[in-house]
Chain A
Amino acid sequence: MFKHIIFFTILVILTYGFWLSSDFKEISAGVAIFLFGMLSLEEGFKAFTGGLLERLLRKTTDKTWKSLAFGVISTTAMQSSSLVSVITISFLSTGLIGLSAGIGIVFGANLGTTTGAWLIAGFGMKVKLSAYAMPMLVFGVIGIFQKSNTLKGLGYILAGLGFLFLGIHHMKEGFDAFRDTIDLTAFAVDGYYGVLVFTLIGIFATVVMQSSHATLVLIITALSAQQITYDNALALAIGANVGTTITAIIGAMSANIQGKRLAAAHLVFNVFTGALAIIFIQQLGSAVEWIANALGVDDNNYILKLAIFHSVFNSLGVILMVPFINNLASKLTALMPEKQQTFEKPIYLSKAAIELPDTAITAVRKETLRLYDNAFGIIAHGLNFHRKEILSNNALNANHKKNAKLIAINFDAEYDHSIKSLYSEIVEFISRAQVAMKPEQADELFLLRTAGRDIVEAIKDTKHMHKNFSHYIVSDNPYIKAEYSSLRTQLGNLMRELAKIRVNEDGGSSLLSFDSLRLEMEVNDSTTNGKLEQLIRENKLTAKMATSLMNDSTYAYSIARNLIHVGETLFSASNTSMRETEQDIALTNDEVAEIISNESFNQ
């Protein structure tokens, strides 16, 4: 409701302003074009986020200084700290980076925004930017209409820059014309009161425009047209820095707890540097004078002095806060704990992750791995193994003592608690994510969805065989007991092998490692069936035992097949083209059958 009131109030104020002054209309149009340019620029950079940015992130965020550098460079290149913050939140949500690294990037992004001020102050106010804007827009739009994603991305970037330049031009023109009719400096406020008032105006303007960059351009153009005083411009710049956190906060609303922690860190940093700048504004002003003199900046060049001020107070904030990044991360983790949930909820799936296709795929992969880990426990308990027994190197105990205690398991409750809601969320996320994806990316999601379905099937099959299984592994009939124990150890060993492949303990090409598991599964199935026939012939099993074993060996086969499918999708970590080559080398079912018939494994 409050949001709606604000929205309509702004619309009414703007309409009244347009009716009053055509110069105000030109300034507002400039801001609108500038913001549209930023959106276009963001769209363009998103085309390059698939894969490249993720690889860069992994390599460049292992140390604090690297995270900082990444933040500075990416913001300088994209000219949008908001985009860098939102992307960082989505990477953090999907677990691609840790909280400390995320905080480092956000600090760096703050420093990176200062380059924007320098560019506009040093270049934008002297050159007729509209002359560059027109060809950029033409080439940009041509690029946007191309099929290639790279050209499309470049098109958006060029068009975005064109709109930015055009926006700055209109703001400049508007303020220049404004000077002839109204002198806004008449509203200037001096002293600390002025600093506070203009800081609040800066915050408000940035919250409305959701871009500190746009506010800064507005401040610089107004300053260059002498429509605001230098002192008030400094306060507005401080406000813009604080107000910019709103974009990260909005971005974090749809993110998980890690994203929210990062947004909080962003807020802490910007409020801290803002407070610092307000308290020490006179000292900072003197420092700016000293630096301006050292750089040979003209005494009356307040625009460059504003850029220096913006850089100085952001650098000061970074210098003071960097040593406390880890402390800040642990404080925020303690203050914003993860909620305990009755039902398993996704950790990596968030609206922030859905924005970038490759990040969305990573999120689904990680969540499906969680689903597998939960299923691993349920299946292991269903087979009367503890997780650690399967994951250890000790031989799995085949013989169950008569009085041995069976692991109690309520399949329905376990399924409802650890699988059902998580699986539903994964399926829903995939349906939403694949809309904006390329066919090959959608295929990858389809495979992951199939893996989820196989996990669920494996649990259901374990549930079906569990009743007979609990009954027969402690049976007095040694033959049926031996057969059920054999099924149990076969599945236990398969799960152990899968765990080894997952950590690549086996070495070698991971996708090809599944062929020996498929062969083992076929050999086991044929051995069980052979033994079953023999036991029936020799009257060692009752008819009821025989039908139970027949059904349950089918369930065991199905569990094994589904788990291998899951492993093939989730544990093959190689890149797409390598995976395709491995798929060509992987053995077909006929080739596996040929090995079995040629060798003597099933004897």
Chain B
Amino acid sequence: MKLTKLLQLASEILNDTNRQSQKRREQLKEIQRQLKKKTKRLKEKCEDEQNEDIKKLISQKIAVAAAQRKKVIKELRKIDSTS
């Protein structure tokens, strides 16, 4: 391995801020994946539901998940722009 590459690797390992933002990025990705799965499941449930009251409750959950997903994307962009 070349010296510059080795130094880069060492600085990556030693750079705590970098490591933390990488960890946070992974966590956000995981949350995003879960929210996507949840939204899909809720939408399917909403389509099958006949009771209007329950349908309304499911729509609320979908709206919340959508707002949360937007926040995740915003946070991910913030990380990308700083790194």
Across-interface contacts of A601 in B (CB, < 8 A): 56, 59-60, 63
A577 beta carbon closer than 8 Å to chain B: yes
B72 beta carbon closer than 8 Å to chain A: yes
Q: Is the beta-carbon distance between B75 and A587 smaller than 8 angstroms?
A: no
CB distance from A9 to the nearest CB of B (A): 58
Q: Is the beta-carbon distance between A599 and B31 smaller than 8 angstroms?
A: no
A296 beta carbon closer than 8 Å to chain B: no
Say yes or no: A577-B64 contact (C-beta < 8 A), given A508-B34, A585-B31.
no
B24 beta carbon closer than 8 Å to chain A: yes
Which of B1-9, B10-18, B35-43 lies at the interface? Answer: B35-43
Q: Is the beta-carbon distance between A599 and B68 smaller than 8 angstroms?
A: no
Which of A47-55, A80-88, A280-288, A515-523 lies at the interface? Answer: A515-523
Chain A contacts with B in 399-443, Cβ cutoff 8 A: none
A515 to B75, CA, bound (A): 18
A509 beta carbon closer than 8 Å to chain B: yes
Q: Is the beta-carbon distance between A585 and B75 smaller than 8 angstroms?
A: yes
A507 to B24, CA, bound (A): 21
Chain A contacts with B in 302-338, Cβ cutoff 8 A: none
Per-residue CB contact flags for chain A residues 570-603 toward chain B (1 = under 8 Å, else 0) read 0000000110011011110001101100010100
A587 to B60, CA, bound (A): 13
B71 beta carbon closer than 8 Å to chain A: yes
CB distance from B66 to the nearest CB of A (A): 9
A584 to B28, CA, bound (A): 10
Contact of A509 among B23, B35, B60, B61 (CB under 8 A): B35
B22 beta carbon closer than 8 Å to chain A: no
Residue of A nearest to B61 (CB): A516
Number of chain A residues whose Cβ lies closer than 8 Å to a Cβ of chain B: 24
Q: Is the beta-carbon distance between B23 and A520 smaller than 8 angstroms?
A: no
Say yes or no: A582-B59 contact (C-beta < 8 A), given A507-B38, A516-B64, A587-B68.
no
Across-interface contacts of B59 in A (CB, < 8 A): 599, 601
A402 to B64, CA, bound (A): 39
Q: Is the beta-carbon distance between B67 and A587 smaller than 8 angstroms?
A: yes
A291 beta carbon closer than 8 Å to chain B: no
Across-interface contacts of A507 in B (CB, < 8 A): 34, 37-38, 41
Number of chain B residues whose Cβ lies closer than 8 Å to a Cβ of chain A: 23
Q: How many A-B residue pairs have CB under 8 A?
A: 63
Q: Is the beta-carbon distance between A578 and B27 smaller than 8 angstroms?
A: yes
Q: Is the beta-carbon distance between B64 and A587 smaller than 8 angstroms?
A: yes
Q: Is the beta-carbon distance between B23 and A577 smaller than 8 angstroms?
A: yes
Q: Is the beta-carbon distance between B31 and A516 smaller than 8 angstroms?
A: no
A595 to B64, CA, bound (A): 8
Across-interface contacts of B24 in A (CB, < 8 A): 577, 581
CB distance from B21 to the nearest CB of A (A): 11
Residue of B nearest to A594 (CB): B67
A599 to B75, CA, bound (A): 24
Across-interface contacts of A519 in B (CB, < 8 A): 60, 63-64
Residue of B nearest to A579 (CB): B27
A515 to B28, CA, bound (A): 17
Across-interface contacts of A512 in B (CB, < 8 A): 31, 35, 68
Per-residue CB contact flags for chain A residues 535-576 toward chain B (1 = under 8 Å, else 0) read 000000000000000000000000000000000000000000
Q: Is the beta-carbon distance between A585 and B71 smaller than 8 angstroms?
A: yes
Across-interface contacts of B38 in A (CB, < 8 A): 506-508
A516 to B57, CA, bound (A): 9
Across-interface contacts of A506 in B (CB, < 8 A): 38
CB distance from A498 to the nearest CB of B (A): 14
A3 to B23, CA, bound (A): 55
CB distance from A27 to the nearest CB of B (A): 50
Per-residue CB contact flags for chain A residues 258-294 toward chain B (1 = under 8 Å, else 0) read 0000000000000000000000000000000000000
A429 to B71, CA, bound (A): 39
A491 to B56, CA, bound (A): 17
Q: Is the beta-carbon distance between A515 and B68 smaller than 8 angstroms?
A: yes
A515 to B70, CA, bound (A): 14
Q: Is the beta-carbon distance between A509 and B34 smaller than 8 angstroms?
A: yes
Across-interface contacts of B34 in A (CB, < 8 A): 507-509
Name the residue in A506, A585, A594 with the highest tally of chain B Cβ atoms < 10 Å from its Cβ: A585
Contact of A584 among B37, B64, B75 (CB under 8 A): B75
B residues adjacent to A (C-beta < 8 A): 23-24, 27-28, 31, 34-35, 37-38, 41, 56-57, 59-61, 63-65, 67-68, 71-72, 75
A residues adjacent to B (C-beta < 8 A): 506-509, 512, 515-516, 519-520, 523, 577-578, 581-582, 584-587, 591-592, 594-595, 599, 601
Q: Can you list 15 A-B contacts (CB < 8 A)?
A: A507-B41, A512-B31, A512-B68, A516-B60, A516-B61, A519-B64, A581-B27, A582-B31, A584-B75, A585-B71, A587-B64, A587-B68, A595-B64, A599-B60, A601-B59
